[in-house]
Structure 1
Amino acid sequence: MQQDSVSRLALGLDSPQAVTGLVLAGGRGQRLGGKDKGLVNLNGWPMVSYAMAVLSGHVAEVLISANRNLTEYDALGGRVVRDAEPGYPGPLAGLLAGLEAAHTPWLAVVPCDTPLLPHSLLPRLATTIGDADIAVAHDGERLHPVIALMRTALADDLGQYLASGRHKVRDWHQRHRCVTVDFSDCYDAFANLNAEQDHTRINAQLNAVSAKKHQ
């Protein structure tokens, strides 16, 4: 544990001022009938608010990657960034917008549709990253490429990667020093809302978590 703390100190990750948070909310929401996922109501709150809460307190600023309903997102308190290219080119475009907008050496990114993420997410990524460029969450069964901590100095390389016509997140990760971080102890926290049938299930999980906190 002491070695991890020294590593975080050397990287500047012991301070929230070293990290910018980014919530990816700029997709089409095709599997939700075109709904703007980040603004879908969950237990009385827009879904993007849960992602912002996971980052809050661990970062200097929260950015929201969005391509529509910009006024609604702006009202939530995060700085809104848009894709440079039209047509919803994918999560890497939102990631590039975040990397370019950040004023810190590190960027922590989460999607808007995973509202149960643990509040220990960023500290655990920071503790494990070591001298790597990117730390990515793994729930014990699968990798979550857009739940990650990375150096903002990667912006130029990502811009070149996208300009070459490539858009696969994992392939871009493989161009850099990348480590996976084991979150198998909280596998359920990585459930995402991709379809209407997920809405009821995740709402129930949120209610259960809230009830447990007030016991």
Structure 2
Amino acid sequence: MRYSDAMNDTRMPPVTGLILAGGEGRRMGGQDKGLMRLRGRPLAEWVLTRIRPQVSEVLISANRNLEAYGALGHPVLRDRTGGFVGPLAGIARGLLETRHPLLLAVPCDTPFLPDDLMARLYAALVGQGADLAVPVAAGRAQHAICLMRTEVGASLADYLARGGRKVQEWQAMLKRVSVDFGEEAAFFVNINRPEQLAALEALPHSA
């Protein structure tokens, strides 16, 4: 199945979008990254705007400032594991809470995601009979952005219970497909440091 077919395929099952905003923001000086503002809007809101039209429902993974995230209008989930153990804990909670057969996880610091992200990942997932699909842009895999079947929840729970924390390591245990987005790296810019946010803020708003 080509991604253009997937976008028009009424048989595409319902999908839960999960915005991952539960980190410590260490490289942002401990600030809650999803609530940091770009052009007057929280980063998490930018991500929400990009993925909401592509999915059936949205959940937000967060471990602090829950009311602020709740104001975005979607359910907010805290990690079940104590402390900040990384994005896999948020994904695990999302897999437990979703009512749908597919979960699309995206970080809160990727404000420019493509509007055909879901369709292209889904086409590859189905076409390859994979458990999980990850975009690749300009030769770089974006492991924190992934579409997965909810059946992988058991594998993730076991990995976390054994002390595993690395996204790429867990994904390597599954049947994973990489989806080539060519040189479209700008869609997958992630904002990790204050200077990156400041540089984007300084660009013309049409950029």
- Normalising by the residue count of structure 2, what TM-score does the alignment of the two structures yield? 0.92
1:40 aligns with 2:21: no
Q: How does 1:180-199 map to 2 (within 5 A)?
A: 180-199=178-197
Q: Whole-Å Cα distance in 1 between the matches of residues 162 and 204 of structure 2?
A: 41
Please name the residue that 1:143 is paired with. Answer: 141
Please name the residue that 2:200 is paired with. Answer: 202
Specify whether residues 71 and 206 from structure 1 end up closer, same or farther in structure 2 by C-alpha distance, changes over 3 A only: farther
Q: Whole-Å Cα distance in 2 between the matches of residues 190 and 114 of structure 1?
A: 6
Post-superposition CA distance 1:5-55 (Å, at most 9, x none) = 38x959x42x5xx10000000000001110000000111111001111121
Q: How does 1:104-119 map to 2 (within 5 A)?
A: 104-119=100-115
> What amino acid maps onto 1:97 in structure 2?
R
> What amino acid maps onto 2:114 in structure 1?
P
1:175 aligns with 2:140: no
90, 95, 101: which one pairs with 1:99?
Answer: 95
Please name the residue that 2:5 is paired with. Answer: 5
Please name the residue that 1:213 is paired with. Answer: none
Please name the residue that 2:152 is paired with. Answer: 154
Which consecutive segments of 4 or more residues in structure 1 shift more than 6 A?
Answer: none
Number of residue pairs matched by the alignment: 205
> What amino acid maps onto 1:128 in structure 2?
A
1:80 Cα deviation after fit: 0.5
64, 68, 71: which one pairs with 1:68?
Answer: 64
Q: How does 1:129-140 map to 2 (within 5 A)?
A: 129=125, 130=127, 131-140=129-138
Higher helix share: 1
- Secondary structure of the residue aligned to 2:59 is strand
- Normalising by the residue count of structure 1, what TM-score does the alignment of the two structures yield? 0.88
Extract unaligned runs of 5+ from structure 2: none
- Secondary structure of the residue aligned to 1:77 is coil
Structure 1 window deviating more from structure 2 (139-148 vs 85-94): it is 139-148
Post-superposition CA distance 1:64-115 (Å, at most 9, x none) = 0000000000111111011001210111001101111110000011100011
Please name the residue that 2:21 is paired with. Answer: 25
- Secondary structure of the residue aligned to 2:205 is helix
Post-superposition CA distance 1:133-161 (Å, at most 9, x none) = 10001112311111111001111110011
1:200 Cα deviation after fit: 2.0
Q: Whole-Å Cα distance in 1 between the matches of residues 192 and 2 of structure 2?
A: 40
46, 49, 64: which one pairs with 1:50?
Answer: 46
Q: Whole-Å Cα distance in 2 between the matches of residues 3 and 55 of structure 1?
A: 16
1:203 Cα deviation after fit: 2.6
Question: Alignment identity in percent?
Answer: 42
Over the aligned positions, Cα root-mean-square deviation in angstroms equals 2.1
Structure 1 window deviating more from structure 2 (102-111 vs 182-191): it is 182-191
Q: Whole-Å Cα distance in 2 between the matches of residues 9 and 100 of structure 1?
A: 27
Q: Whole-Å Cα distance in 1 between the matches of residues 22 and 204 of structure 2?
A: 23
1:205 Cα deviation after fit: 5.0
Extract unaligned runs of 5+ from structure 1: 210-215
> What amino acid maps onto 2:72 in structure 1?
L
